[in-house]
Amino acid sequence: MSRCVRLVAQTLIAFGLLFPGLAEVRAADPEIDRLLQSPTGKDWVTNGGNLTNQRYSTLKQIDTSNVKQLKGAWMTRLKGSGFGGKYSFEATPLVKDGIMYIVTGNDDVFALNAKTGEFLWERWSGIDQKITSVCCGWDNRGLAMGEGMLFLGQLDANVVALDIKTGREVWKTPIEVWQDGYGVTSAPLYYDGIVYSGITGGEYGVRGRLTALDAKTGKILWRWYTLPAPGDVGGESWPAGTDHYLHGGATIWNTPALDPELGLVYFSVGNCGPDYDGSIREGDNLFCASVVALKAKTGEYAWHFQEVHHDIWDYDAASPALLFDTVINGQPRKGIAQAGRTGWVYILDRTNGKPLIGIEERAVQQEPRQKTAKTQPYPIGDAIVPQCAKPLEGYERAGCIFEVFWEEPTLVQPSGIGGTNWSPMSYNPDTGFFYVPGTIRTSAFARYGDQYKKGKQYNGGTQAAPIGSEMSGNWTGITATTNKIAWQKNVPYRVGSGGGSSTTAGGLVFHGDPSGTIVARDAKTGEMLWQFQTGFGAEATPMIYEVDGDQYVAIAAGGNQGVGSANGDAVWAFSLKGQLNPLWPPPPPPAVAGPASGPIAEGADTVKIGDNNIEFGYFPKRTRVKAGTAITFTNAGDTPHTATAFDNGKIGSWDTGVLNSGESKTVTFDKPGNYYYICTPHPWMYGQVIVE
């Protein structure tokens, strides 16, 4: 890290503010607003640590010299909340004045003593268990706090305020209707009397937006639609004379960042809909797969940068945007960075959205039927994951990041389930590095067309990892001033779709792992210095806090359904005075795609989907029957599923169609052979019928 960059970072911390020079104004909650603008210390009061989303803690009692001494200070099980097959546990806890606040995948909220893990109060959501508008598992990524309240979004598309002392509901505001495909999984952001919330539903043909609510009353102050209407900024990027912009997706999966000095709020935007069929939506399709800045008070458009034009690969910009200050070519610069599913980190000037380091528009391959964009942005620097698919037997077409496809299965990497998904990266001003989680995998893409129906899946095709293909991940330190790899460590499992990193002034990076471990790395080199087995998939982002002079590291451990890590309901806190030892490791998640391992059920003519408290699975996963056997597929879960033929990427030679909870469909298998199948809305689910 250059001396000049280090001086900038130290100066900001010395002033006690990340955003110096702000005029004194009357704030709705002056203390929280001060903490949100300050470097993160003993309290962690918002999802990203403070308004920058850097996830950087100034605490350094735990450092590279003593981190090996960490043990569990306490572990608390949250009474079975979110402990089931349909749930993921991805929330980052908040801590203020020695009290921890955590939300589960069932939208239940708990207050714990941050020193001991004891329960102080609990709020059970009572949310409708039959919600069907959840694309990828029930989860909630966190809370916000301010004005004596906690704020959360719910899967039923409500934003809720709770009394921070009791958990009592203060207000509840519906920002949409879940039956129309909407929901909320991201942690909201509170600042200066306003609560900002994203919305989900990108796979259901919704119209994405950022909603600003009055923190005191829950009244909606303004909405900014990520899919512009004709005449709005970006409206020309959608086909004229159509209403495709009304159900084109572009949802917000993440917590915004905010710069009070510039008066701007920043967020990144998800994929277009239908995901894999660009034929009906000619144009760049703003503001899909973009980073956007708005005026924080009014929601007025300020600027945008689109990472992928006319996205047909599901290349969401799902990971939170991160603000940082640096020096480039001797000049102080205000930066914003976002890690994409493309495998690149996009580094921009947050004052105007222009590239800080350089991003080139390059000509790309064309598929006229998909109405593909003529060029795509290529950041100068290094990708964190491979961007070209290797040829595989049975597949005639394979290519790199922007390889086009139609109805013939085509292998593409990193694919829409590779790179960095929702997982947050962190930034350490002492090293000048971003710490980026990545998933390495190939998908087989195919377009099959789709008709929009309100509240139903609207994908227009599918992507699924080829049977037998390897899936893994890595952690990468990226130099913020060059976008070049400083260090990289490969790991056995996919980490770009779960968890995330936090970093400290003690020279450490903390992250979880699908195998159940929480890990500490040297922030300069990436060397693993410590690991601890939590007993459940450690798929949330760690956070750091202090109580009574002791530093703690905490993580929620409860798995991620998209990765297949072990479900649970645990919160762990670690300290140098901890006495608790690791738990036994849970079953590991799959590192190879498909159902090719595991027992074969002989003669089983019934397959239950979502049974055994595992929402995203087939039971049995593999069955062997005689030719002419009729197999009945029954949805025993809560979420709509399919069993759809998957033959070297080709979809649908047989298909149950969408099965709602309790519905069945029988398919007869007349000819001997191997019949693989997937769930098209959830293509990480695999099954196999062996016919003799």
Query: Would you say residue 221 has pLDDT above 60?
Result: yes
What SS3 state is found at 75? strand
Alpha carbons 481 and 395: distance in angstroms, whole number: 40
Closest CA to 535 of 105, 122, 95, 89: 89
CATH number for the region 601-691 comes to 2.60.40.420
Q: Residue 499: its pLDDT value, please?
A: 82
Q: Residue 135: its pLDDT value, please?
A: 84
- Kindly tell me the number of DSSP H helices and DSSP E strands found in the chain: 2, 48
- Name the band, by pLDDT with cuts 50, 70 and 90, for residue 325: very high
- Name the band, by pLDDT with cuts 50, 70 and 90, for residue 240: very high
Query: Would you say residue 71 has pLDDT above 50?
Result: yes
Task: Spot the catalytic one: 107, 192, 314, 569.
Answer: 314
Q: Residue 22: its pLDDT value, please?
A: 44
Pairing of strands 397-399, 410-412: parallel
User: E strands of 358-471, at which residues?
Assistant: 359-363, 375-379, 397-399, 410-412, 426-428, 433-440, 443-447, 461-464
Assigned token pair, 371: 């109405």
Closest CA to 600 of 619, 617, 626: 619
Q: Residue 286: its pLDDT value, please?
A: 98
CB contact set of 331 (below 8 Å; sequence gap of 6+): none
Alpha carbons 504 and 56: distance in angstroms, whole number: 5
Alpha carbons 251 and 424: distance in angstroms, whole number: 17
Closest CA to 64 of 430, 416, 383, 398: 430
Query: Would you say residue 322 has pLDDT above 60?
Result: yes
Q: Residue 3: its pLDDT value, please?
A: 41
- Phi, psi angles (nearest 5°) of residue 454: -55, 130
Q: Which helix (H) or strand (E) holds 212?
A: strand 209-214
What SS3 state is found at 618? strand
Query: Would you say residue 6 has pLDDT above 90?
Result: no
Closest CA to 348 of 361, 331, 360, 334: 334
- Name the band, by pLDDT with cuts 50, 70 and 90, for residue 5: very low
Closest CA to 573 of 552, 543, 590: 552
Query: Would you say residue 360 has pLDDT above 70?
Result: yes
Residue count of the chain: 692
Alpha carbons 164 and 308: distance in angstroms, whole number: 41
Q: Residue 597: its pLDDT value, please?
A: 74
CA dihedral 43→46→47→50, nearest 10 degrees, is -80
Query: Would you say residue 293 has pLDDT above 70?
Result: yes
Which pLDDT tens digit goes with each residue over 531-590? Answer: 999 999 999 999 999 999 999 999 999 999 889 999 999 999 999 999 999 999 999 999
Q: Which helix (H) or strand (E) holds 8?
A: helix 3-15
Alpha carbons 402 and 313: distance in angstroms, whole number: 8
> In this structure, how many other beta carbons lie within 10 angstroms of the beta carbon of residue 643?
26
Q: % helix / strand / coil in the chain, to the nearest 5?
A: 5, 40, 55
Whether 215 contacts 146, CB under 8 Å:
yes
Q: Residue 18: its pLDDT value, please?
A: 54
Rounded mean pLDDT of 638-642? Answer: 90
Which pLDDT tens digit goes with each residue over 508-538? Answer: 999 999 999 999 999 999 999 999 999 999 9
What SS3 state is found at 31? helix
- Name the band, by pLDDT with cuts 50, 70 and 90, for residue 647: very high
CB contact set of 250 (below 8 Å; sequence gap of 6+): 202, 207, 208, 226, 227, 269, 270, 271, 272, 273, 285, 287, 288
236 CB burial (10 A radius; 0-12, 13-18, 19+): middle
Query: Would you say residue 418 has pLDDT above 60?
Result: yes
CATH number for the region 11-123+136-575 comes to 2.140.10.10
Chain-wide mean pLDDT for the chain? 94
671 CB burial (10 A radius; 0-12, 13-18, 19+): exposed
Which pLDDT tens digit goes with each residue over 444-462? Answer: 999 988 899 999 989 999 9
Delimit the domains of the chain by residue range.
11-123+136-575, 601-691
Q: Residue 26: its pLDDT value, please?
A: 56
Active site residue 314: yes
Using alpha carbons only, how large is the chain's radius of gyration in Å? Answer: 24
Query: Would you say residue 336 has pLDDT above 50?
Result: yes
